[in-house]
Amino acid sequence: MTDEKREYWSKLIAEQEASGQTIRAFCQEQGVGDHSFYYWRKRLQKSEPVQFALLKTVASANAVGTDSGQWRATPDRERCRRGDVSPGAGRRKAMIHPPASVRVYLCLSPCDMRRSFDGLHALVRDHLQLDPFAGHLYLFANQRRDRLKILYWDRDGFAIWAKRLEAGNLRDSLRRAGLPAF
């Protein structure tokens, strides 16, 4: 890409933003294709650096599931009597609490949800500059915040958990939980 082209399209994009016209009307007036305009606008956009935030986790002393052996060894009846879970909730309804040593990092920048193990691992390694093999949880969300991926090192390999919200978005869920929205 030549500097002349870059300068021309940067100037044209700035003119369109200042004019207040729609892109289609502006492109017709200038005699350029709107597809070319969209292409150059995307190509010249400055990408924001990836940012992460450390979420504070509170581990309760009597939390069930802090140790995987404790989770399997405690019968449902005993957990219900102690008040750890509601009666009749069953094992799958109880919340799993990670150990206090596990930190949760939230990626504040929207991520491409097509990324998998290697792509998410590279984001953590390059931008956060932490050891992804430490066992911490790394949360990634898309632009609309209705899809979430969690990257985690599980002793012998990476694991990814994915969630698609059918209603609402992650921003609303974080706000309800009293955590910082992004």
Q: Provide the 3-class DSSP secondary structure of residue 111.
A: coil
Element (DSSP H or E) covering residue 175: helix 170-177
What tens digit of pLDDT does each residue of 102-143 get?
A: 888 888 888 888 888 998 988 888 887 888 888 889 989 888
Nearest to 140 by CA among 168, 180, 105: 105
Pseudo-torsion of CA 6, 10, 12, 13, nearest 10°?
130
Domain ranges of the chain: 3-44, 52-177
User: Residue 58 pLDDT more than 70?
Assistant: no
Tens of pLDDT, residue by residue over 147-161, are: 889 998 888 899 999
Q: Which has the closest alpha carbon to 115: 145, 151, 168?
A: 151
**Residue that is written with structure tokens 């986790």 in the block:** 57
Q: What DSSP designation does 50 have?
A: P
pTM above 0.85, yes or no: no
101 vs 75, more confident: 101
CA distance 2 to 123: 30
